[in-house]
Amino acid sequence: MTEMSSVDDLLTVRNLGKTFSDAGGLSFTSSSGGVRAVDGASFSVKPGETLALVGESGCGKSTLGRLLLRLIQPTDGEVLFGGRDITALSAAEMRMMRAKMQMVFQDPYGSLSPRRSIAQIISEPLEVFGLVKSSRERRDRVAELLTQVGLSPSFMDRYPRQFSGGQRQRIGIARAISVNPQFIVADEPVSALDVSVQAQIVNLLQDLQAERKFSYLFIAHDLAVVRHIADRVAVMYLGRIVEIGPKKSVYSMPQHPYTQALLSAAPEPDPDRKANRIVLQGDVPSPSRVPPGCSFHTRCPIAKDICKVDRPVLREVSPNQFSACHFAAPNPLSQAG
Ligand code: SF4
């Protein structure tokens, strides 16, 4: 059983997969050749919702984010946006669709062209989609966007090198929201920033969402970062979603051992929980050898023989909480409620 979708969903992803034909810097390959970076991802996102996608570096989460915007062409599966399968759109149709689907990048240093002014950077999507008709209108719109992301409009004729990492990320966010998107993929938007700045950017993203009602796929490698912004959480390991559910359930009663390990490693103010830290043995398996059965079995502290041969599928273990583990049990807290 996989997560149910409904007609109210903004985005519905069904069995989405991506195989790269060579390693190309990606982190894992199958024994039959090629790199299976994303395998059978199925989930949905509602209007105004934030789905956090969490997992270690190289697990395929950034590739999945790019597949949703078709910045990379999927190998198989569907991405329905507003009921339309965007994997089947022509290049021209997809260009228009991008006004509704934007991305905030991880690297605020590398994602802004150093030779373009802030006004040029922010107004580029406005011009591509024909949303401004004069230079006056363009500058007014840029001023408004800078104000919305907490920067002074007087910055618009400056260049990216004149700003801090946090300010550059605000500029990237202004560019992304300039075309009034309905869906934003935020790909580790705070992981390159100082800890002191991270909360400010997460708060800004949250405030903008409250105002503009768009949805996020918020990608992070750390469950602590998404604790405040997520409505639901999906956990990814070696290209597959291994757990997905409402934030409250996933944090209070994680059902997959990998989620339990990630949570135990997240900064935790409660010293009792800290004492229960689960230390995973070894690294993510070799790129050339994705383990058979449950791909987590080589690191799982409770693996049994069945895990080496039988691949678990995502199944609903508590209301709206799905786990791909043979031994996941119902969440007693959600049963009681
Ligand atoms: Fe661990 Fe087995 Fe569950 Fe995989 S299926 S997470 S190896 S217990």
Average pLDDT over residues 42-50: 97
pLDDT of residue 270: 59
CB 189 less than 6 A from any atom of ligand 1: no
Closest approach atom of ligand 1 to CA 326: 5
pLDDT of residue 113: 92
Per-residue pLDDT for 80 more than 90?
Answer: yes
Q: Is 315 exposed, middle or buried (0-12, 13-18, 19+ CB in 10 A)?
A: middle
Residue bearing the CA closest to ligand 1, atom 5: 325
Ligand 1 test: best mutation among 238, 243, 300, most atoms within 8 Å of CB?
300
Percent of the chain having pLDDT more than 70?
89
pLDDT of residue 27: 43
Residue bearing the CA closest to ligand 1, atom 7: 297
- pTM here is 0.91
CB 303 less than 6 A from any atom of ligand 1: yes
Query: Is the CATH number of domain 11-100+181-336 1.10.10.10?
Result: no
Beta bridge partners, 13, equal 43, 79
If pLDDT is split at 50, 70 and 90, which confidence band does 29 have?
A: very low
Distance 136 CA to ligand 1 centre (A): 60
Question: Domain map of the chain by residue range?
Answer: 11-100+181-336
Distance 335 CA to ligand 1 centre (A): 23
pLDDT of residue 139: 97
Q: List, for residues 253-266, the tens digit of each pLDDT value.
A: 999 999 999 998 87
pLDDT of residue 331: 59
